[in-house]
Each structure stands twice: as structure tokens, then as C-alpha cells.
Amino acid sequence: MVQRNRVSFLLDIFVTFFKVGAFTFGGGLAMLPLFEREVIENKGWIQKEDILDIYAISQSLPGVIAVNASTFIGYRLAGVPGAVAAITGVMAPSLLVIVAIATVFTQFRQNFYVAKALKGIRAGVAALIFLAAYRIGKASLKGIFGFSLAIGAFMLTSLTDINVIYIIMAGGLLGILVSKMGSGGAS
């Protein structure tokens, strides 16, 4: 009985992440609003406060944020099998679509309607990425330090050739230092 419930839960994880993967165009950042809707609002698996930490960790690690976040959430829900179910679910739609498109792309890439549809999809993806950035910023940029750090990181990213990993690491170190100074240096 317990095994049946576990398999059912893993299937639920797979289907949930499959839906996110299937209905998102534009990659990992565009998936973030759908992640929130599915795992927080619809399923109640993750708290709203926790998703920001998951996104921060996922963005800081090598790889695609959607795969990293899926792995983290799946693991949190059901250990290694949950991580595998979530990764498989989120990646399967893209893999299936890529294989299908690759087989016919050369025949349709010059098609007027296909080109216009892709242009519209790109606009929609831009809106989803903006929405994800807005929600993450709204929830995490609290106080002058957060705003200053975000503006500084944005300026460094936009105006210099400094690798973003160094900017992320510096932001993490600054956060630790400021928290240590704010707590009087006590741990």
C-alpha cells in the first residue's frame, strides 16, 4: 500500500513538472511563474518564501534554472526518486518537441506563418521573463542594501565584461558580511 502511494506521488511529481515543461516556451526563466502556480498554489508542496531560495540556489549553480529548480523541488518532496521524476517531467516535453521539430524544421522554417508564430512566441516569452524578474525582485529586494546590491550587480553586468558568476559570488559574500555586521559579528 505504501509503495503504491509512493509510486502515485512520484507520478504526480512527474505529471506536474511535465505540465510546466509542456506549457512553457522560452526556457528556464519563463518557467518560473508556472513553477510557482503549480508547486505553491495548486499543489501546496512548497511555501512562497522557500521558492525564492530555491530560485537563488538554482540560478547560482551551473545548468539551466528550470532543471536545477526541478531537481531541488523533486528531491525535497521525495528524495532522489522525486528529483528524477521532476527532471524527467520538466525535460520530456522539450525533448519530444525538439525531436519532432528537427525532423521537419527544414521544410517549414521559411513558412510565413511559422515565422510569425515564432515572433509572437518570443514576445510572450519576454513578458514571462519580465514577470518572473518582477516577482523575484518584489519578494527579495527589501531595504536599501538589497536595492543597492541589485542596481550595482545590474550595472556591473551591463557595463563590464565581468563574468556573472563573480558578481553572484560577490553578492553572496556581501550579504554574509552585512548580516554579520548587522548582528554585531555574533553567530
Domain membership of residue 158 (yes or no) is: no
Nearest to 21 by CA among 66, 74, 82, 68: 66
Domain membership of residue 134 (yes or no) is: no
Number of domains in the chain: 1
Domain membership of residue 74 (yes or no) is: yes
Contact 74, 83 (CB under 8 A): yes
Q: What is the 3 state secondary structure string of 64-90?
A: CHHHHHHHHHHHHHHHHHHHHHHHHHH
Domain that includes residue 92, residue range: 2-108
Domain membership of residue 19 (yes or no) is: yes
The pTM of this model reads 0.58
Exposure string of 108-121, with b = 16+ CB inside 10 Å and e = fewer, is eeeeeeeeeeeeee
Domain membership of residue 62 (yes or no) is: yes
Domain membership of residue 161 (yes or no) is: no
pLDDT in tens, the chain (187 residues): 456 798 999 999 999 999 988 877 666 677 788 888 899 999 999 988 888 888 888 887 877 888 888 999 999 999 999 999 999 999 998 888 888 877 877 777 678 888 788 788 888 888 888 888 888 888 778 888 888 998 999 999 999 999 988 998 998 899 889 888 876 544 4
Domain membership of residue 33 (yes or no) is: yes
Q: How far apart are CA 92 and CA 22, in angstroms?
A: 8
The separation between the first and the last C-alpha atoms of the chain, rounded to the nearest angstrom, is 46
Domain membership of residue 36 (yes or no) is: yes
Q: How far apart are CA 21 and CA 27, in angstroms?
A: 9
